[in-house]
């Protein structure tokens, strides 16, 4: 289990998949919600040790709101 902070600063736990490489400071997890504070990892992406999480959070908000049509069909 890994304790992480989401892009919006909310803390949560990730139940890690076996054999993952988690040697970077910034990771993106995709997974299945187990409860309100835990997800089970399906896949992850390493974003390295230098990543602008604030800008990424703004992009996430835009892609799920007024500009959703630019990201999804």
**Domains along the chain?**
2-70 (2.40.50.140)
3-state secondary structure of 35: strand
C-beta atoms surrounding 29 within 10 Å: 21
**Over the stretch 3-39, which tens digit does the pLDDT of each residue have?**
999 888 899 999 999 988 899 999 999 999 999 999 9
In tens, the pLDDT along 58-69 reads: 888 888 777 777
- Whole-model pTM? 0.77
Which residues lie across from 41 on neighbouring strands?
31
- The answer to whether 39 and 28 have CB atoms below 8 angstroms apart is no
**5 phi and psi angles, rounded to 5 deg:** -115, 130
């Amino acid at each position: 289990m890994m304790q992480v902070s989401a892009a919006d600063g909310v803390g949560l736990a990730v139940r890690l998949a076996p054999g993952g490489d988690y040697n970077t400071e910034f990771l993106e997890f995709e997974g299945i919600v187990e409860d309100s504070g835990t997800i089970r990892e399906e896949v992850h992406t390493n974003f390295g040790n230098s990543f602008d999480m604030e800008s990424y959070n703004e992009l996430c908000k835009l892609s799920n709101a007024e500009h959703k049509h630019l990201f999804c069909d």
